[in-house]
Amino acid sequence: MLVSREGDRREGVLLRQSKGWFHVGAMGHEALAVLAEILRKDDYLFGYYRERPLVLARGVTNKELALAYFAKRNSSSGGRQMPGHHSDRSLNIWSVPTPTGSVVLPACGAAWAMQLQGKDTISVAMIGDAATREGEFFEALCFAAQMQLPVVFMVQDNRYGISTCTETMNPFRMQMVGEGIDVVHLDARHPDRVLDAAAPAFDRARRGEGPSVLMCDLDRLCDHTSSDDQRVYRSVEEITAMHDRDPIDVVAKELIESGELTPAGWDEMKAEVVAEVDRDYQEAQQAPDPRAEELTDHLLAPVIDPGPVPLEGGRDWRIVDAVNAIFKYQLDNDERTMFFGQDIEDPKGGVFGLTKGLSTAHPSRVVNSPLAEATIVGAACGMASYGMRPVFEIQFVDFVGPAWNQLSQNLATLRWRTVSDWNCPAVFYMPYGAYLPGGSIWHSQANESLFAHTPGLRVVLPSTPEDAAALMWTALHAEDPTIFLIPKHRFRKPFPVAPGEVPAVPFGKAAIRREGTDATIVTWGNCVEQATEAAELLAAEISVEVIDLRSLVPWDRALVGQSLEKTGRLIIVQEDNESCSFGQKIISDMVSDPGSWDTFMSPPQLVSRGDVHIGFNPIYEYAALPSTEQVIDAVRLTMEE
What three-state secondary structure class fits 104?
helix
End-to-end CA distance of the chain: 77
Interhelix angle for 319-333 vs 465-475, to 10°? 30
Report yes or no: 512 and 549 within 8 Å, Cβ to Cβ: no
What three-state secondary structure class fits 513?
strand
Which residue type sits at 120?
D
Backbone angles phi, psi at 633, to 5 degrees: -60, -40
75-to-81, 225, 507 alpha-carbon distances in Å: 9, 20, 31
Question: Catalytic amino acids?
Answer: 443
The residues with which 583 forms a beta bridge, in sequence order, are: none
Torsion angle, CA of 129/134/136/139, rounded to 10 degrees? 80
DSSP 157-207: E-SEETTEE-TTT-TTTTT-S-TTSEEEEEETTSHHHHHHHHHHHHHHHHT
Report yes or no: 68 and 90 within 8 Å, Cβ to Cβ: no
Q: Are strands 123-128 and 44-46 parallel, antiparallel or unpaired?
A: parallel
Write the CB contacts of 105 (distance below 8 Å, at least 6 apart in sequence).
Answer: 136, 139, 140, 143, 374, 375, 377, 378, 379, 381, 382, 406
Report yes or no: 610 and 578 within 8 Å, Cβ to Cβ: yes
Compute the distance between CA of residue 333 and CA of residue 306 in angstroms, rounded to an integer. Answer: 14
* 358 CB-side CA count, 13 A: 31
Q: In sequence order, what E strands does 443-585 have? A: 458-460, 482-487, 495-497, 511-514, 519-523, 544-548, 551-553, 570-577
Tell me the Ramachandran region of residue 500: left when phi exceeds 0, alpha when psi lies from -120 to 50, beta otherwise. Answer: left
> What DSSP designation does 289 have?
P
Tell me the Ramachandran region of residue 208: left when phi exceeds 0, alpha when psi lies from -120 to 50, beta otherwise. Answer: left
Which residue type sits at 256?
I
Which residue type sits at 56?
L
Tell me the Ramachandran region of residue 289: left when phi exceeds 0, alpha when psi lies from -120 to 50, beta otherwise. Answer: beta
Report yes or no: 505 and 468 within 8 Å, Cβ to Cβ: no
